[in-house]
Structure 1
Amino acid sequence: MKKFQVWFAAVLMAAGLGLVAPAPASASYCGLAWGSLEKSEPTMSTGKVTNVRTGQHYCFDRLVIYLNGPVEGYTARYVPTVVQDGSGFPVPLRGRAFLQITATAPAYDDGGNSTYNPADRNELANVGGYQTFRQLAWAGSFEGYSTIGLGVRGRLPFRVFTLDGPGAGSRLVVDVAHYW
């Protein structure tokens, strides 16, 4: 009887410490409750694309598209192949999944002068060492739309939002989670 009581006490202590019963499974990573379906706002923006940057965070990798005015419209979605604006030619990207991000804003001013002209259309930013991003490429700007192809390591959840600033400008932000 003494052995049973000792064994029973050990099982109760282990259960109390969470060693026997597993913790409940979480449906999201880092508390992120994003999905992988298309996100869009169809309004045309009055700002022009001026820059693109990336960053790494603990739970996600981030793409930021800078405009010199308000961001009012965008579309971000997973596609089988990212295509160039105007021509429809495929944009080759590294990765196992591809996000096509389109800002409803041109990368040229009213006189047709470029407001964003990347030095290397195939490598907008060095994303070597990022957990999720594999490649960021320029797909062009045509008839008021500017498109970026983002190669990622898999079809992971993402979110899209806008931020005001700096100054009179604004930013279109795309975060892609590291895990589900």
Structure 2
Amino acid sequence: MKKRILSLLASVAMLCGLAMLAPASAVAAPYCGIYWGSLPESASGMSSAQIENLRTGRHACFDRLVVDLEGDVSGYSVTYVHRVSELGSGFAVPLRGGADLEILVHAPAYDADFHATYSPRHPSHAVDVDGYRTFRQVAFSGSFEGQTLIGLGVRARLPMRVFTLDGPGDGSRLVIDVAHRW
């Protein structure tokens, strides 16, 4: 009886060991074919465009933030930071989530007469992201010296991609996608 129990325990231990050595692809399917990383993404240049709107969308594999501009977006910087700091003052922009994504658009949110072209009712919650899988908070920090800062609180430091799109009309869009998981 003792030999039988020891033999059974040895078999269970061997099966557990084999399961741990199995390749990851045999255990879990690839996640949406995402190959993005989490390193900073940027493009140089200042823009004569103005920010008109922020909007978000939920997709099967990622959450999306879109910055709508009137004119061509030329420059931006999107990077994970320890904390997002307001332009000019350096005060912290409090964000919910496990990671902070700083989005600096090289375009103002005001026109040539310094009238706001984008002014959300609640800047610390510029876009409602309740129920999103990755996004926790979108904060519009404001514009300073021709640049606009947006803080994006996300669940964790996850893969992201950044790209621009032309249109509609003479406008353009800065698109930031953050994956739901690695």
Give the TM-score normalised by the residue count of structure 2. 0.84
Identity between Structure 1 and Structure 2 (%)? 57
| Aligned amino acid, residue 34 of structure 1 | W
Instruction: Give 1:127's aligned residue.
Output: 129
Q: Residues 128-167 of structure 1 correspond to what in structure 2 (within 5 A)?
A: 128-167=130-169
Q: Greater CA deviation, 83-92 or 170-179?
A: 83-92
- 41-50 or 151-160, which moves further after superposition? 41-50
The yes-or-no answer on 1:101 pairing with 2:106 is no
Letter in 1 for 2:96: R
Amino acid at match of 1:149: G
Q: What displacement does 1:23 show?
A: 3.6
- Distance in 2 between the 1:178 and 1:35 partners? 13
Query: How far apart, CA to CA, are the structure 2 residues paired with 1:120 and 1:58?
Result: 28
State the match for 1:56 in structure 2: 58
Alignment RMSD, CA only?
1.8
Shift of 1:22: 6.7
Within 1, Cα distance between the matches of 2:169 and 2:29? 38
1:122 is paired with a residue whose SS is helix
Listed as ranges, the gaps of 5+ residues in structure 1 are 1-19
1:171 matched residue in structure 2: 173
Tell me which residue corresponds to 1:75: 77
* TM-score between both structures, scaled by the size of structure 1: 0.85
Q: SS at 1:63's partner residue?
A: strand
Deviation of 1:166 after TM superposition, in Å, equals 1.2
- Give the structure 2 partner of residue 40 of structure 1: 42
**1:24: Cα distance to partner?**
5.2
Distance 2:76 2:23 in 1: 45
Equivalents in 2 of 1:26, 1:96: separation in Å? 25
1:90 maps to what in 2? 92
- Which structure dedicates a bigger proportion of its chain to helix? 2
The Cα shift of 1:26 comes to: 8.0
Shift in CA distance, 28/103, structure 1 to aligned 2, threshold 3 Å: farther
CA distance in 2, matches of 1:108, 1:38: 26
The alignment partner of 1:58 has SS state of: coil
Which residue of structure 1 aligns with residue 8 of structure 2? none
* Structure 2 unaligned residues grouped into runs of 5+: 1-21
Q: Distance in 2 between matches of 1:22 and 1:163?
A: 36
Q: CA deviation at 1:29?
A: 2.6
C-alpha distance in structure 1 between counterparts of 2:71 and 2:86, whole Å: 24
Find runs of 4+ consecutive structure 1 residues off by over 4 angstroms. 24-28
